[in-house]
Amino acid sequence: MRINGVELAPEAIAREMQHHPAASLEASWRAAARALAIRELLLQEARRRGLVPEPETDDGTAEAEDDALVRALMEQAVVPEAPTEAECRRVYEAAPARFRTPDLFEAAHILVEPRTPDDAGWREARARARALVDEIGHDRARFAARAREVSACPSAQQDGSLGQVQRGDLVPALQEALEALAPGTVAAEPVQSRFGWHVLRLERRIEGRALPFEMVRTRIADLLEARAWATASQRFIDGLVRVADVEGVDLEPGAAP
């Protein structure tokens, strides 16, 4: 494989393959070859422009000189326009649901752990959890008392309280059960996780609220600027590819990775 007459060694492509997992070795090789070819094009362009690498240091680790050279080139060659106020507002108004505080769930649970790790232990633990559901009903005081007495979770000391959680804080099965509960009720069936069976109670649900444009404008602008930078970077690379002498790898836009 040659880029403007510079040969890229097969060993270098083989090393690069670890960063490009794919469904097949061939696909991984192609992706690695493309990545190294584009990197070589960028390095050649940086040197043609007379750029000098100035490696940065992060947590005591110095940036490689070639990485610093590519970074310097992209900083010089790719300067996307900052998004306008009108563009930011269009994004905000087109998808207002994206700019809300998360829904919060004030929840509590009683964790019933299996006494043995086999199927019989899990069945017995479920039976104990199911008996707690029947005993407690929706009584908040009784739930708190039984949590303090029998829950295997440290939250037992807080009446089983999990505090305020949002989507993503709990395992999917627990979150799904919470979503189905009305405030002030206990789930009719225990919910299983890898820790055991959970008797789950929802105290209250706090709906998220829409954030005003002024609070999210910077976030939207950063998003638009990142998109613009990615588009401009690809356009710059495509320009280098069009005038390059490339052998052994397809770098045309849309080529299979």
Q: What angle in degrees, to the nearest 10, is found between the helix axes of 213-243 and 85-94?
A: 110
Q: In which residue are the tokens 């990545």 written?
A: 35
Q: pLDDT tens digit string along 95-130?
A: 988 899 999 999 999 999 999 999 999 999 999 999
pLDDT in tens, 58-89: 887 888 999 999 999 999 999 888 999 999 99
Start-end of H helices in 82-212: 85-94, 119-136, 140-150, 172-180
Tell me phi and psi for residue 169, to 5 degrees: -75, -30
Block residue for tokens 């910077």: 218
pTM: 0.64
Q: Which of 114, 109, 184 is nearest to 147 (CA)?
A: 109
Tokens matching residue 163:
């505090």
Q: Residues of the chain with pLDDT > 70: what percent?
A: 98
Whether the predicted pLDDT of 254 surpasses 60:
no
Question: In the predicted model, is pLDDT for residue 57 greater than 80?
Answer: yes
Cβ-Cβ contacts under 8 Å for 7 (sequence gap 6 or more): 1
Judged against a pLDDT cut of 50, whether residue 19 lies above it is answered with yes
Domain boundaries, the chain: 2-83+214-247, 104-206
pLDDT tens-digit profile of 200-226? 999 999 999 999 999 999 999 999 999
Geometric angle at alpha carbon 220, from 214 and 223, rounded to 5°? 160
Range 104-206 classified under CATH 3.10.50.40: yes
